[in-house]
Amino acid sequence: MSKVVVCRCEDVTLRDLEDAIVRGYDDVESLKRYTGFGTGWCQGKGCMALCAALLVERGGAAASPFTARPPVHPIAFGELAGLAEVADADERAGRPPR
């Protein structure tokens, strides 16, 4: 049987989620805390919908809010604003996006 990865950031599989639901983690927040889905770089943008759908399909509740976390290292808005200049310079130089 092949491994079905649901959360690529944290390498959480479909089997991990199903096992957690059977163990009683039947709401979004407890399932996230037990398996780690949605805690990686994307903060659930790539896996939340699939995990919530699976949870509801298995009789759980997906109505509670998902608690996303801020980046590990805070970033000043000025640094983020400067990224547009970097992207423009790369484009002008013919370099691929970073």
Specify the CATH number of the domain 5-93: 1.10.10
Rounded mean pLDDT, 43-64: 88
Weakest-pLDDT range from 1-5, 7-11, 54-58, 68-72: 68-72
Q: Residue 46: exposed, middle, or buried by beta-carbon count in 10 A (0-12, 13-18, 19+)? A: middle
Query: In whole angstroms, what is the distance from residue 72 CA to residue 65 CA?
Result: 21
